[in-house]
Structure 1
Amino acid sequence: MSRTQSLISEGFYLESGVVQTPLLHSKLLSEQLGCNLYFKCENLQNTGSFKIRGATSAITRLVARDPDAEVVTASSGNHGIGTAAAAKAMGVPVTIYVPDSVSEVKAEKIEARGARLIRVAGGTEVAEQTARSVSDSGSMVYISPYNDLDVISGQGTLGCEIAEQLPGVDCIYVSVGGGGLISGIAANIKHLKPEVEMTGVWAENSPVMLTCMKAGKVIEVDEQPTLSDGTAGGLDSDSITLPLCQNLIDECQTVSEIEIARAMMSVWRQHGMHVEGSAAASLAAVIKDAPRLKGKNVVVLLCGGNITDETFAAAEEVSKQ
């Protein structure tokens, strides 16, 4: 039995607050693009993103080894919310370091789930360094947002769900940051349906994993601000997801900020949902790839919906360019 199958059999959904999210057929967009387009709606997850899956998996395994464990992590948003929710469900104390620029909406969601929130001066990388230092010098266990097999296994439950909800799936589009999400989905979907094509999507302003895949190693990559902020940021030097992405991703696509913004507006206009830029990036890639997807069953992973009104309004302005 795989790690992911074991999670599901052990009551992964019932005990943790993870829900099996709907697969929504987008009728009008399907007609416009000439494919059968489906949205896997992780924006409707209890925490507003897929991150609770990986966090629940990691904390479940941790508690099985050490019932008295305490957790520490770093996040600018969704990973922190997911970890806080998973820790609360299992009665595990958790401290989450965030950059001082963290969205107040996301900070409130983290604290509302009982986590200890500590702001640090600087960006997400500084918060992560601080959290790792605390873990190295004490008894708390650091949980990476992506560089952890148990986290990847939790994200992989999405692959099982998609295979069950759409047995005839041909292609799955997933935005890529650290690579944990697409690695987990791809590992499971290719075990169940080897013929399914996995397409990784990057914002042109932040193609970190894609550049490292081409280089064959983790390297520094220049980034620009992007609406797909959930996929921005560098990789750990010992990233286990780099070889996984190299082996499991079949196609790669990049999208511009205007394309991301217009995709965000498409989801809003057709389905009334405000999704994050990282979620809309995958739809933007499908729109770009539409000529080669004619007649195929295509799934777009809407990875999150924790977006502020201000950010959405800014994206709307970009979409008009």
Structure 2
Amino acid sequence: MPLPAPSLDALSTAITQAHRALRPAVATTPLSFSPRLSAQTGCEVYLKSEHLQHTGSFKFRGASNKLRLLPEAQRGRGVITASSGNHGQGLALAGQVLGVPVTVYTTTSASAYKLEAMRSLGAEVICLGLDPLGVELEAARQARAQGKPFISPYNDAEIIAGQGTIGMELHEQAPELDAVFVAVGGGGMISGIGAALRALNPSVEIIGCWPANAPTLQRSLEAGRIIEMDEEETLSDGTAGGVEPDSITFALCQQLITRTVLVSETQIKAAMREVASSERWIIEGAAAVAVAGLQQLAPDYQGKRVAAVICGRNILLEKFLEAIQ
């Protein structure tokens, strides 16, 4: 039977505990003011640099928290997960630090850069000719068959609590934010950030940003239930794919997301180019989704203090260069 979503109070408490426990292994990432994006949008724009987190994305936070709380006997057996790359890398590094064997199931279409990065961190990587949701379901089945914990990239309260430490840092770094723009795939990061900020700054708006080509969770929120849909290819591979039918993030997102926005592939590419030009950063498509969402909704936030979460940098250089042409 699926576990119920944690209460917001319980999740907030878990995030606070993770925030204290994960240092110094998990880095506190900078929140940088962007003069150029601020001038262009008419907002006071800050960028949360999760691309500077270990393994190049925010995923190390949740992975570290999950393995920290795993019983010793389960650690010894090893863990299984499903990932297009960033979660797999984060879990592989956390496993390396704590001596936990990690097996990652992924799609045959996953980024070669991310596959190699997972292997270099000691993970066993198994590629399947399935879509991302199919890979998740098969990985969970294999975990049950082998008697190992399955570590969901998002459908896990302890993973979500780890990601929520971003929200704690945002409040410490800029306590008077009006809105935070977050790219969404399975909903783990935005659930954690939203729960942390709801407790610390209830007036802040939490804006969920999706690529228009892959908006399964956004469409599910509109429908009031988790749905399946065919997605198109997107530069935001880190947010692509369906959502587990029993995902606790669905109920959390219903409570925590203030509004949603969809951005085109052209807007994602333009945001990647703008961040490269103004900040001199290479960022992946999912990170650009949050910036593109901010740019699209900027007329509604004139003069307001807003932040976009730059969630990762793990993209092939050739793919990045092609995108910003």
Both proteins in one fold, TM over 0.5: yes
What are the residue-to-residue correspondences of 1:132-147 with 2, within 5 Å?
132-147=140-155
User: What residue number does 2:15 align with?
Assistant: 4
Number of corresponding residues = 314
TM-score by length of 2: 0.93
Task: Note the C-alpha offset of 1:167.
Answer: 1.3
Distance 2:299 2:130 in 1: 43
Same amino acid, percent of matched pairs = 43
Task: Note the C-alpha offset of 1:101.
Answer: 2.6
User: What residue number does 2:124 align with?
Assistant: 116
TM-score by length of 1: 0.94
Residue 230, structure 1, aligned to residue 242, structure 2:
no
**Residues 184-208 of structure 1 deviation map (CA, whole Å, 9 limit, x = unaligned):** 0000101000011111111111111
Task: Note the C-alpha offset of 1:126.
Answer: 4.0
**Residues 152-202 of structure 1 deviation map (CA, whole Å, 9 limit, x = unaligned):** 000000000000001121110001110111000000101000011111111
Instruction: Tell me if the contact between 1:93 and 1:115 (Cα under 8 Å) persists in the aligned partners.
Output: yes
* Root mean square deviation, CA, Å: 1.5
Runs (4+) of structure 1 exceeding 4 A deviation are 64-67
Task: Note the C-alpha offset of 1:140.
Answer: 1.2
User: What residue number does 2:26 align with?
Assistant: 18
Amino acid at match of 1:50: F
SS of structure 2 residue aligned to 1:200: strand
**Where in structure 2 are there 5+ consecutive unaligned residues?**
1-11
Distance 1:91 1:197 in 2: 39
Aligned residue among 173, 198, 211 for 2:206? 198
What are the residue-to-residue correspondences of 1:1-321 with 2, within 5 Å?
2-10=13-21, 12-14=22-24, 17-63=25-71, 66-317=74-325
More divergent stretch after superposition (62-71 vs 109-118): 62-71
**Where in structure 1 are there 5+ consecutive unaligned residues?**
none
Amino acid at match of 1:86: A
